[in-house]
Structures are given as C-alpha cells and as structure tokens.
C-alpha cells in the first residue's frame, strides 16, 4: 500500500531591526498595525523551523531551541498553523521544532525570524504555494515584525487600510548589498531584564494610555519617507539623526504608557549617551542608536568608523559584548516543496 505523502518542510529566516518601529495595533487578532514600519534584515543569524503535520497527533507540539514552548508563544504558533490548515484544507496537528543559531543573549529577539520561518515551513509542508507577499501576510499573524523577516535587505511593511488585512504586508525596498558600508553594531548589556509583557499587548496599552501617541502617529509618515530617502541615497548625515529621532519617539511613548514600559537599563542609557557624545565630538553624525522592546542597543555606523565606535562603547561598564552585523538575505526553503517551487504562486 502506498504511504501517504509526508507533509513536512524546513524553512529559515533572519531577525530584523526596525528603523521605523511597528508600535500600535488596530486589530490584534489579525495583527494589523496602526503605522507602517521599516527595518533591516540582518546577516548570519537565522531561525530554522521544521514543521511536520501528523494525523496521529492529538494536539500541536511546539519546541523552541529544544524545550517545549511556553503558553504565549505556543498560542501564537497555533494561531498561525490554524490559518495554514484553513488555507490548505489540511486537518491534523503539527509538530514544530524551531532553533536559532544565535543565543538569546545575542541581543536579538527571535520572534520575527522564528515566525517568518514557521510561516515558510508550514506553507511548504502543506503544499501551499504562496507568493512572497502572501507569505509575509501569513508570517504577520505570528508576530507583526515577522512580516518583514520574509525579505532580505531593507524592508518596508505598509500598514494598509483594509479591515481584512489583505493590503498589510512587507516588501523589500533595497537589496542587502545596497549599502555595504553600513553596519549594525549590536551592543549587549549586562542584566537585561526578560520581557514582562508581550509586545502585542504592550503596544495596545501605549495606544490607549500614552498622551504622546497621537502626535507620534502624525509624525511617522514624513519620518518614514525621509528615512527611506536617506537610505536610498546612502546618506548617513541625514539617516543617523532620523534613526535616533525615531528611537526617541518610540521610547517616549513607551515610557509615558500607563503602567510605564521601561525597557532600558542604566548601561543601555549610557550607550545612548556615548553615541550622542561621539557625534558631538566628531561634529558630524557618525553613529545612530536604536533599540526595540529590550535593553540591548543597536548602533548603526559606517565600516570605516566601526573600530572607533566599538572601542568607545565596549569599554562602558556593563557592556558585555558587541557584535557587528551587515544587512542579510531573506527567508529560504531548506527542505520540502512549496512557496519557492515552480508554477504561479497565489497571491
């Protein structure tokens, strides 16, 4: 008797760091943002996710780096798998194993890379042949920022306006080799607290309670256009101050959220101060800080300034390590068939 075809696939994707932050949801169920965002997908670090649908299973089984996933991340995985089951008309539960080639202590969150890899693997396993755009929409359901990790280089996620989310997906705007001189120095700080509240919930609190949120929302379209333009023109003098302006705006609405969302440590704040002082000393912007909902700081600079910037930041008390990363490629299918296979993919 012929064995039924095994529904399994492995996909990998990289983390990204946002230059314009996604912070605000208009529909938490569909993960629809209140604003468009822009990020850089990073090189070297990857999440690799294997998905296997198995009719014998009585529930979805999820492991992250070899350990069973906690209830929050597991719910998000199941939410995304449910969407794949509905689209592919597949019944049955799945086994999901996801591993990062970077430690949690690398300062990079794995939710964007992990959910982009999960979307790619689950779609491929079920034979869903999705366009990159549709894959981005699917990844969005796991974690908003994952919609951007589907692509490499510089990526923009347009918020969209449709209530069903069909126009809310990311697209690549510039390839990874667009600006080889640009580098992200990840500055890892000591005693970074673990996240108390998930981003999806934290940002809803900000929308409801931060008095500065409405103003931020009004400022964002112009700031995003200016950042996009400075990237296109490879212009650090304009780009670096804008990256910091955006980071400061994000931090301000977090800190004025009730209860306050304070992601930084004393050391993170010292890193921000040192970058400001480096720029003042150089009489031109030579570096730009940004951070996500965590204490580690990403410092953008040019390769020629990297040794000097690194020396200044690495000696600050509480800085554990620095890792320099350039822009990297998008997600790719490692094993299985599916979105990258032949024929015309569906939108």
Which one of 106, 110, 168, 199 is in contact with ligand PMV (CB under 6 A)? Answer: 199
* Residue 78 backbone dihedrals phi, psi, to 5 degrees: -65, -40
Q: Does 223 engage in binding with ligand PMV (CB under 6 A)?
A: no
Q: Does 47 engage in binding with ligand PMV (CB under 6 A)?
A: no
Give the number of other CB atoms < 10 A from CB of residue 241. 15
Q: Does 21 engage in binding with ligand PMV (CB under 6 A)?
A: yes
Provide the 3-class DSSP secondary structure of residue 260.
coil
* Closer residue to ligand PMV in complex, CB, 109/275: 109
* Closer residue to ligand PMV in complex, CB, 144/236: 144
DSSP helix, strand, coil percent of the chain (3-state; round to 5):
35, 25, 35
Minimum Å gap between C-beta 21 and ligand PMV is: 4
Minimum Å gap between C-beta 38 and ligand PMV is: 9
d(CA 124, CA 8): 7
Closest CA to 11 of 92, 134, 109, 96: 96
| Residue with token string 């697209």 | 171
Stretch that binds ligand PMV, among 18-26, 79-87, 224-232, 323-331 (CB under 6 A): 18-26
Annotate 29-68 with DSSP letters as a single string: TTTEESS-EEEEEBSS--EEEEEEEETT-SS-EEEETTEE
* Closer residue to ligand PMV in complex, CB, 12/292: 292
Give the number of other CB atoms < 10 A from CB of residue 82. 12
* Closer residue to ligand PMV in complex, CB, 111/279: 111
State the number of binding residues for ligand PMV (CB under 6 A). 14
* Closer residue to ligand PMV in complex, CB, 292/345: 292
Which one of 41, 111, 206, 257 is in contact with ligand PMV (CB under 6 A)? Answer: 111
Give, as ranges, the residues between 114 and 173 that touch ligand PMV (CB under 6 A): 143-145
Closest CA to 311 of 319, 36, 130: 319
Which one of 63, 65, 131, 200 is in contact with ligand PMV (CB under 6 A)? Answer: 200
Q: Which residues have C-beta within 8 Å of that of residue 86, sequence separation ≥ 6?
A: none
Minimum Å gap between C-beta 293 and ligand PMV is: 4
* Closer residue to ligand PMV in complex, CB, 84/261: 261
Minimum Å gap between C-beta 106 and ligand PMV is: 15
Sign of CA dihedral 291, 149, 118, 98: negative
Minimum Å gap between C-beta 20 and ligand PMV is: 7
Write out 311-344 in H/E/C secondary structure.
HHHHCCCCEEEEEEECECCCCEEEECCCCCCCCC
Minimum Å gap between C-beta 39 and ligand PMV is: 6
Where on the chain is the footprint of ligand PMV (CB under 6 A)? Answer: 18, 21-23, 37, 111-112, 143-145, 199-200, 292-293
């Amino acid at each position: 008797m012929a064995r039924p075809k095994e529904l399994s696939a492995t996909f990998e994707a990289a983390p990204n760091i946002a230059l314009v932050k996604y912070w605000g949801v208009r529909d938490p169920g569909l993960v629809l943002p209140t604003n468009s965002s822009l990020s850089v997908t990073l090189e070297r670090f990857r999440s690799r996710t294997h998905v296997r649908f198995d009719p014998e299973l009585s529930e979805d089984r999820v492991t992250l780096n070899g350990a069973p996933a906690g209830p929050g991340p597991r719910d998000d995985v199941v939410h995304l798998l449910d969407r794949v089951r509905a689209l592919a008309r597949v019944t049955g539960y799945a086994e999901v194993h996801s591993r990062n080639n970077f430690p949690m202590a690398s300062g990079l969150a794995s939710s964007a890379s992990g959910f982009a890899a999960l979307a790619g693997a689950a779609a491929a396993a079920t034979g869903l042949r999705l366009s990159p755009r549709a894959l981005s929409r699917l990844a969005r359901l796991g974690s908003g920022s994952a919609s951007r990790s589907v692509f490499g280089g510089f990526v923009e996620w347009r918020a969209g306006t449709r209530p069903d989310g069909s126009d809310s997906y990311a697209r690549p705007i510039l390839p990874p080799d667009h600006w080889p001189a640009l580098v992200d120095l990840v500055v890892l700080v000591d005693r970074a607290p673990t996240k108390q509240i998930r981003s999806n919930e934290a940002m809803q609190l900000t929308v409801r309670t931060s008095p500065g949120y409405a103003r931020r929302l009004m400022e964002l379209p112009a700031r995003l256009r200016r950042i996009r333009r400075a990237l296109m023109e490879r212009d650090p003098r304009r780009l670096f101050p804008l990256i910091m302006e955006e980071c400061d705006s994000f931090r301000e609405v977090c800190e004025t959220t009730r209860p306050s969302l304070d992601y930084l440590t004393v050391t993170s704040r010292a890193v921000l101060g040192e970058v400001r002082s480096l720029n003042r000393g150089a009489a031109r912007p030579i570096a730009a800080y940004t951070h996500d909902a965590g204490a580690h700081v990403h410092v953008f600079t040019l390769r020629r300034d990297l040794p000097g910037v690194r020396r200044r930041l690495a000696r600050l008390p509480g800085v554990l390590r620095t890792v320099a990363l350039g822009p990297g490629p998008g997600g790719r299918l490692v094993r299985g068939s599916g979105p990258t296979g032949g024929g015309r993919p569906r939108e």
